[in-house]
Structure 1
Amino acid sequence: MTTEHLLKAENLSLGYKERTVIEGLELTVTPGKVTAIVGANACGKSTLLRSMSRLLSPRKGQVLLDGKEVHKTAAKELARTLGLLPQSPIAPEGITVTDLVGRGRHPHQGVFSRWSAQDDAAVASALEATHTVELADRAVDELSGGQRQRVWIAMALAQETDLLLLDEPTTFLDVQHQVEVLDLLTDLNRSRGTTVVMVLHDLNLAARYCDQLIAIADGKVHAAGDPADVLTEDMVRAVFGLDSKVITDPTSGGPLMLPIGRHHMVASAAGELPEHRS
């Protein structure tokens, strides 16, 4: 089992040049749980994740990990506890899958340490978990978008951190592989206690797989908590500007959002959501 760590943002303000994206945000990630950050495009979800992983310095406020500012923590030290899979990462040209996944072990390598059997085991486990073993000797730039995404997730798993942040981990994946990835992350949480925080666009998958939803709007946390409390018709209207009907998911028992289009016809997505392992 992993060690539970407390990750939180206090009065956090973030932006780029003259543009402010996040303003005065307060957020606490529940340790040992799976959390999804949701919100409209350009609301600051990815920006928030970048700051929580030390990649973007705050204009105001701070991000704390176990009471220590992450932006004052050495990168390698932080990377042994917290891992990040960013949106659309770029692999070095010609690198093989095994070599890329092996880079997830870098935080565990000391100045004089050598590659160990533990490193081999971590890479092998990550490849197996993401169903990429058969791709091990392939060049990453030869893979399809979905295959590359699974390889990047394997690299994040090989890092073996207690906290894992993922920015749209289901990008480029078809429905089957989206569910496989979310099942994988859920299994990781249940078996090792890994705290998982991910940005997701699909509200119904977020509600089905996550213990906590955090809805971002206007640079602040609009709502946070249990999916049944957060995924409401009022929230969908306020955060996404969309009329909807929220019903009970017949598979999970949680909330299921059905968008209402211009002609007031409910577009049912219930049949498109495969069975989720419980």
Structure 2
Amino acid sequence: MSRHHDARELKAEGLHLRYDRELVVHGIDIEIPAGKITVIVGANGSGKSTTLRGLSRLLKPSSGSVTLDGHDIHSMPAKKLAQMIGLLPQHPTAPDGITVADLVSRGRHPHHTWIRRRDHDDDAVVAAALRATSMIEFADRPVDQLSGGQRQRVWIAMALAQDPDILLLDEPTTYLDLTHQIELLDLLTELNTTYSTTVVMVLHDLNLAARYADHLLVMAAGRVAGEGMPRDVLTPGMLSAAFGLESLVIDDPATSAPLIVPIGRFHCRPHPSIQEAS
């Protein structure tokens, strides 16, 4: 949150990921656009969170590779990688009794050496991260005394304090009400536009994904079903194939991004495109 970030080339080639004997991701090729916001979407079990874990080095490929600026991430020193890639996993856990400020300050550890310890610059970055996530007033409170939504914002603050070039987030809007979801996604957009932070996140809400993504990646059955700009990817045919969802895609009146209107069996009035399809 304190510097203009370098453009990093994060790529996966022939990436296979598995849990024990179960192959979850099947030989995918991905190139994350530097300095953009990429959103990964897909139905439950499609492999989207597994893909993010593979990109972050949490999960080692059974074959294929993930490279950062041409270097295999599994051969890079952990601290060096953490200076360039930050991760907010899906279900992080905090040590018992740790305060909000202490947890967020752990995001600064990758930038410390035996010579350079925590200093005023670190304190300023931590404070900025707490302010950005509206958690500054909770700085001295134990994390385990917070609500689910507040805890999620603390973890996001820690990821921001890490100040990486690439920020990976697995369902960062979990536990957040709609107001805080929009605030968080606006914050990530601000980081992207102000500091050129590359953002890659998994989202469940397709309409939020369509609104905030520069680049959309659709996963289905462990493979890439489609990728590109949201308007090019989120078609009724893609939504049917990847999600089993019958829908209309119209213009969002607030942003002109594609807006997905699901068609259910109830509470739907006749629409010309529905009548034509039938």
TM-score range, shorter chain: over 0.9
Q: Corresponding residue for 1:33? A: 36
Out of 96, 100, 111, the residue aligned to residue 93 of structure 1 is 96
**1:254, 1:135 → 2: CA distance?**
36
Contact 2:126 2:161 in 1 (8 A): yes
Instruction: Quote the Cα distance in structure 1 between the aligned partners of 2:268 and 2:95.
Output: 47
Residue 189 of structure 1 aligns with which residue?
Answer: 192
Distance 1:154 1:178 in 2: 14
**Partner residue of 1:80?**
83
- Residue 17 of structure 1 deviates from its aligned partner by 1.1
Which residue is equivalent to 2:208? 205
Q: 1:169 aligned to 2:184?
A: no
Alignment-derived partner of residue 247 in structure 1 = 250
Residues 59-208 of structure 1 mapped to structure 2, 5 A cutoff: 59-208=62-211
Residues 62-115 of structure 1, C-alpha deviations (whole Å, 9 max, x = no match): 001100001111111100000000001000000000000000001001123221
TM-score scaled by structure 1?
Answer: 0.94
What is the deviation of 1:52? 0.7
* AA in 2 matched with 1:66: D
Distance in 2 (CA, whole Å) between partners of 1:83 and 1:237 is 33
Q: How many residues are paired up?
A: 266
- Give % identity: 59
Alignment partner, residue 276 of structure 1 = none
Question: AA paired with 1:72?
Answer: S
Cα distance in 2 for residues equivalent to 1:207 and 1:216: 15
Superposition map of 1:238-277 within 5 A: 238-263=241-266, 265=268
CA distance in 2, matches of 1:69, 1:264: 51
Q: Is the 8 A contact 1:26 1:220 kept in 2?
A: no
**Contact 2:45 2:221 (C-alpha < 8 Å) held by counterparts:** no
Whichever residue aligns with residue 215 of structure 1, its letter is V
Post-superposition offset of 1:218: 1.8
More displaced stretch, 108-117 vs 14-23: 108-117
Q: Measure, in 2, the Cα distance between the counterparts of 1:209 and 1:201.
A: 13
CA distance in 1, matches of 2:230, 2:66: 24
CA distance in 1, matches of 2:138, 2:233: 39
Distance of 1:114 and 1:33 partners within structure 2: 32
1:221 and 2:224 correspond: yes
In 2, distance between residues paired with 1:131 and 1:31?
A: 28
- Give 2:18's match in structure 1, choosing from 6, 15, 19: 15
TM (norm. structure 2) is 0.94
Contact 1:86–1:167 (8 Å) recurs in 2: yes
Q: Partner residue of 2:276?
A: none
User: Unpaired runs of 5+ in structure 2?
Assistant: 270-278
Could you tell me which amino acid in structure 1 is paired with residue 144 of structure 2? D
Task: Give the corresponding residue for 2:27.
Answer: 24
Partners of 1:11 and 1:173 in 2: CA distance:
35
In 2, Cα distance between equivalents of 1:57 and 1:24: 13
CA deviation vs aligned residue, 1:102-149 (integer Å, no higher than 9, x gap)? 000010011232211111111011001001000100000000000000
Deviation at 1:55, TM superposition (A): 1.0
Say if 2:16 and 2:25, in contact at 8 Å, map to a contact too. Answer: yes
Shift of 1:263: 3.4
Partner Cα separation in structure 1 for residue 76 and residue 23 of structure 2: 25
Query: Which secondary structure does the structure 1 equivalent of 2:66 belong to?
Result: strand
